[in-house]
Amino acid sequence: MAETNRKIIINNKTVFQSEPFQPQARYFTGFFGRETELAQLTAAWMAGNSSLPMCPLFIGEPGTGKNRLIYEISRRTGRQLYIFQGHEDVTAEDLACTVRFSDNNNSTMDYMLSPLVSAMYNGGICFIDEIGKIRPRALALLVSVLDERTYIDSTLLGERIHAHPGFRFVAATNTTDLNLLPEFILSRLRPRITLGYQPKEEIDSIIRDQCKEIRNEVDILIDLFWALWVEHGGKPGGITPRDAIYLFAWASKLSSFHQTGGIESLLMASHEKPYDLDLQHTYTGIKPEHLKLAFEILFSDNFLIKN
Ligand SMILES: Nc1ncnc2c1ncn2[C@@H]1O[C@H](COP(=O)(O)OP(=O)(O)OP(=O)(O)O)[C@@H](O)[C@H]1O
Ligand SMILES: [Mg+2]
């Protein structure tokens, strides 16, 4: 989004909005399963003249697909997605509006609307990721957004911003941070939608989608992967999409490394695009020994014990 498009005027004050997130199609290809969770989110967001949308909370282990589900709903609805990344140093005012030094000679500072307020202003989706990492005193400002008031007060801007009717809110937290959320926020984040492990068939589809170039061999590799997984104490299907994707990506890189001359590839380090698989070599496939090696390196015994 160009800087000029981000500029708006609120009560004679020039303000810059946050940029919406547009997932790059080449990194986010097929989306599999999660229909129940998508249905729950959609139902929660139904709203009308006398009925407000609800503000759901996704809960799940790292890598289960909380972000991905939200990118998918943004894609399917065509609504702009504004992401606010939660962390320990977020202040209440960060949730609303901040300032930066201005490039404009006529002003010294620019007001910057947070992703939350940009979504409220435009009627987009606001996703607060890792909300459990934000300290309770910062979260207090969110209360009026989540209840019937549907506004936020920014002390810095000196303004109250009301949510556009198209505004929708969702947050996510890892399971371990759930108990850090204060009750006054938890009680407003409803429904709570838990993302568990996906069935084996859906994980298989995610792997197949990642490995389109080796369509002919991939089923044998998937069988090998599950055999190794179970052999090491994992439950069938008890893996996150992220771990499955990393495993096959790592195996493919190990394969490329060997097939492009092994350590000789170091010579490519000085290229403008180092180690570029697209430069001279097409996708080199995965051999069973690369999958086994990747499996051993990625999944230590500790990892498997907890599954
Ligand atoms: N249903 C799905 N179909 C296809 N790919 C998926 C699906 N769910 C997740 N993925 C992929 O798995 C990876 C991890 O997903 P994501 O980052 O959304 O997890 P997360 O729950 O947000 O993790 P964290 O808690 O660490 O932030 C991403 O590469 C994502 O594209
Ligand atoms: Mg995430």
pLDDT at 4 over 70: no
pLDDT at 3 over 70: no
From the CB of 208, is ligand 1 less than 6 Å away? no
Distance 28 CA to ligand 1 centre (A): 10
DSSP states of 127-174: EEETGGGS-HHHHGGGHHHHSTT-EEEETTTTEEEEPPTT-EEEEEEE
Please list the residue range(s) of the chain that carry CATH number 3.40.50.300: 3-195
pLDDT band at 161 (very low <50, low <70, confident <90, very high): very high
What contacts 18, CB < 8 A, 6 or more positions away? Answer: 6, 82, 112, 113, 114, 115, 117, 118
Sheet holding 192-195, edge to edge: 81-85, 125-129, 168-174, 57-60, 192-195
- CB-CB contact of 176 with 194 (8 Å): no
From the CB of 67, is ligand 1 less than 6 Å away? yes
Residue 305: predicted pLDDT: 46
Give the integer Cα–Cα distance in Å for 251 and 257: 10
* CATH no., domain 3-195: 3.40.50.300
- Say which range, 105-114, 132-141, 143-152, has the weakest mean pLDDT: 105-114
Give the integer Cα–Cα distance in Å for 307 and 158: 50
From the CB of 255, is ligand 1 less than 6 Å away? no
SS3 for 46? coil
Q: For residue 209, give the ligand 1 atom closest to its CA.
A: 4
| pLDDT tens-digit readout, 234-275 | 888 899 999 999 999 999 989 888 877 777 777 777 777 776
In 3D, which of 283, 222, 227 has the Cα closest to residue 256?
Answer: 283
pLDDT at 108 over 90: no
Distance 241 CA to ligand 2 centre (A): 12
